[in-house]
Amino acid sequence: MTGNEDTSTPITISSIEDVTKFLKSITNSHGNTNLKTHKSNLTKSLAIIEDLALGIPIRNNESKLLEEIAKLKSELASKDNEILNIKNELITIKAESYDKIVKHSYAAITNKQQTSTPKSSIPSKQVTSNHFVIISPKDDNTTKDSNQLISMTKDKISNKKSLENGLRIKKFQPLRGKKCLIKCDSANDIDKICSLLDNDDKLTVKKPTKKNPRVMIMGISKDIPKDELVNYIVSQNPIIDNHLKSNKDDSLKVIFDKSDRVGPSSAFKNHTRMETKSAA
């Protein structure tokens, strides 16, 4: 080993602490140590000292790494915001596309159903009406209740007679007051029952009569004449007007009128099929 060689451990100069260590090592070094070997570190130390004199902060490796990390975090946050914005845009686009598809599909299905299903093929709802007669005993002491009356009636209208007359009975139903009701699907069957029991010595057969519905209208001005009241009602109700025009057998008429407690008169009106009792 020669006197010009430096056996001290190399020092890396990157901070003020490194400068301090380096200057201490020179101070403590042997007198024969060649200062040329320290030229590079002296240059770096001088640069650091000049920066300190000018007020420039010293950046060591750790501070550089921290700055890089902060920069990367900022860039990452910016990328996260961009990704979030893109996701929101995609959701909006998907929602708009879905709405268009649903509307288009619904319109296509509706048009297909309207074109493929002719009106004539739609089955019409059949309205079945009940026809019935009321059976009652001529003498109340003949039967004890309506069930016994039903048994008596069935004996009078036997299966044999029903077959001979083509009679079809739908149902026997007990009623109050020792009476019963016979339901059929047609008025013709009702007429056949009346024919079979018309001259019976123990039973009375009767077709129920329907009462016309009534309507009571209140608050009618006294200035409206009674004979003009129907015309006023019809003129203000297009449905009633159209019904009366298309059904010549129906009519609307005033049964009676009377003064109301508060002043205006009230009236009862009826038409032949429905006897109406309305209040206004």
> Which value, in Å, is the radius of gyration of the alpha carbons in the chain?
56
What is the layout of strands, in order, in the sheet containing 203-206?
A: 171-175, 179-184, 131-137, 203-206
Structure tokens at 108: 């296509």
Tokens of 130: 């009940």
As to burial, measured by CB atoms within 10 angstroms (0-12 exposed, 13-18 middle, 19+ buried), residue 212 is middle
Q: Quick one: 131-206 is in which CATH superfamily?
A: ACT domain (3.30.70.260)
**In sequence order, which residues have a C-beta less than 8 Å from that of residue 51 and are 6 or more positions away?**
57, 58
Q: CA–CA separation, 93 vs 74, rounded Å?
A: 29
Per-residue pLDDT of the chain (280 residues; tens, 9 = 90+): 444 444 555 667 677 677 777 776 766 665 555 666 666 777 777 777 776 666 666 566 667 777 888 888 888 888 888 888 888 888 888 777 767 776 666 666 666 666 655 555 555 555 556 788 999 998 888 888 999 999 999 988 888 888 888 889 999 999 988 899 999 989 899 999 999 898 888 999 998 877 777 778 877 777 778 788 888 888 888 888 888 888 887 888 888 777 766 555 555 555 554 444 333 3
Six-digit token string for 238: 């297009």
CA–CA separation, 139 and 150 (whole Å): 15
DSSP notation for 175-209: ETTTEEEEEESSHHHHHHHHHHHTT-SSEEEEPPP
SS3 119: helix
Residue 217 backbone phi and psi in degrees, to 5:
-110, 130
DSSP state for residue 218 in the 8-state scheme: E
